Amino acid sequence: MEKLTIAFAKGRILEEAVPLFEKAGIPVTPLKNPGRQLIFDQDKFRFMIIRAADVPVFVKYGAADLGVVGKDTLLENDFNLFELLDLKIGVCRISVATISGRRIDRERILRIATKYPNITKNYFAGRGKQVEIIKLYGSMELAPVAGLADAIVDLVSTGRTLRENGLEEVEIIEPYISSYLVANRNLFYVRNELIAEVVRRLRSVLED
């Protein structure tokens, strides 16, 4: 039988997903110390480690049956996937932050640096505010300090990263972000038996 392929977003989500999947009896132990290896075959499963933004793409095109990815990534681009389960890991929020003590000037067009241009655009548009968005791929915190942008839109968990870079949270866009188990809409039906088993096992750990 073809293996059930699960794509994990690398980094914090993968780290938190491994103990959860292990508890559910899904053999993800090799993902603890993956080294440079990105693909792991373990009995009925194939696991892949992928950059978060690419996980929904692999699932959408059927290169993975299931994915584990943050709601932030799912909100940024709608890939029309099934969201099967809130895994309650990778919990954080999406916020606007700027240099501590700085008042964001509301009269002029703000420049916002972010890796979430759609979430940012929709949020400010919903408040009748025009913004100029600068897309970045990392180290967002540098943008206000370096004078690249007035503010940033980024994930905040403990708030430590902002504090250590002289920034403060000024508005919360999404107060609860967590990671989801997502499925390709067609493969969900084709591989339903094994997918249902994965969901059942994870759900029983989450409800414990």
Residues that bind ligand AMP in the complex, under the rule CB under 6 A: 11-13, 70, 90, 92, 154-161
Least Å distance, CB 9 to ligand AMP, is: 8
Least Å distance, CB 15 to ligand AMP, is: 10
Least Å distance, CB 67 to ligand AMP, is: 14
Q: Where are the alpha helices (DSSP H) in the chain?
A: 12-23, 55-60, 71-76, 117-126, 142-145, 160-164, 185-190, 192-206
| Minimum CB distance to ligand AMP smaller for 155 or for 199 | 155
| Minimum CB distance to ligand AMP smaller for 41 or for 83 | 83
Give the burial string for 107-138 (b: 16+ CB within 10 Å, else e). eeebbbbbbbbebbbebbeeeeeebebbebee
Least Å distance, CB 191 to ligand AMP, is: 27
Question: How far apart are alpha carbons 46 and 4 in whole angstroms?
Answer: 6
| Minimum CB distance to ligand AMP smaller for 92 or for 173 | 92
